[in-house]
Amino acid sequence: MLTVMLLGLALGAQPADCDVKADSLPTTLVVQAVDELWLPLPGALIIVREGKHSPEVARGTTDASGFVHLSITKRGAYEVEVSLVGFKGRRVGKIDVDADPSKLIPYVQVKLKVAVPKEVITDMLRRKGWVARSGYAGVGAVEQADAADEAQGGTRMAS
């Protein structure tokens, strides 16, 4: 049995657990998604386009290390969009990709910032008196809050 398996390997056959898909293409672009502390972000959606409103060329989801390996079949400059729930999405443009995997493979690291809901920020500013009831944090709202503080005998430092 071992002799047959070794003979099969010598003739180019592959064991069943090492099957290679015929439709798998070589990696021509590597993207890593990280957070503000440079920690990897698994599960981030990566979309590659030729331009902002162009159809998708490739798409993938980052692994546990925040990486995704994509195959781009046409040479050109591409935009990479990265998104993940709880983070602000980000687009990075003009990534030169060569469709030949024997050439240098571009590596793009995209840092995402945590998304804070608008309601949280508005509520925080309102508690400090910096936001009018309408939700607009303009100069007038800050001046009104300052005037109210001074009327009550308090002072506020300008920011």
List all residues 6 or more positions away from 55 whose beta carbon is below 8 Å from its beta carbon: 49
Distance between CA atoms of 54 and 33, rounded to whole angstroms? Answer: 22
Contacts of 23 (CB under 8 A, 6+ apart): none
Average pLDDT over residues 130-159: 51
* CATH 2.60.40.10 domain span(s) along the chain: 25-111
Put simply, whether the predicted model's pTM sits higher than 0.75 gets the answer no
- 3-state helix/strand/coil string of 9-43: HHCCCCCHHHCCCCCCCCCCEEEEEECCCCCECCC
* Separation between Cα atoms, residue 128 and residue 81, nearest integer Å: 36
The runs of H, that is alpha helices, within the chain are 2-10, 118-127, 139-151
Q: Among the listed ranges 12-21, 26-35, 105-114, 116-125, which one has the minimum average pLDDT value?
A: 12-21
- Report residue 103's pLDDT band, with 50, 70 and 90 as the boundaries: confident
Strand order from edge to edge, sheet including 67-70 = 67-70, 29-34, 107-111
Cα separations (Å) of 40 from 29, 70, 158? 17, 17, 39
Architecture of domain 25-111: Sandwich (2.60)
Closest CA to 130 of 117, 119, 143, 118: 143
Report the mean per-residue pLDDT for the chain: 75
Radius of gyration of the chain (CA): 26
More confident residue, 149 or 38: 38
pLDDT of 48-65, one tens digit each? 999 888 899 999 999 999
User: pLDDT confidence of 153, banded at 50, 70, 90?
Assistant: low
What's the mean pLDDT in 40-50? 96
Q: Which two tokens stand for residue 76?
A: 């050109």
Contacts of 50 (CB under 8 A, 6+ apart): 57, 76, 77, 78, 79
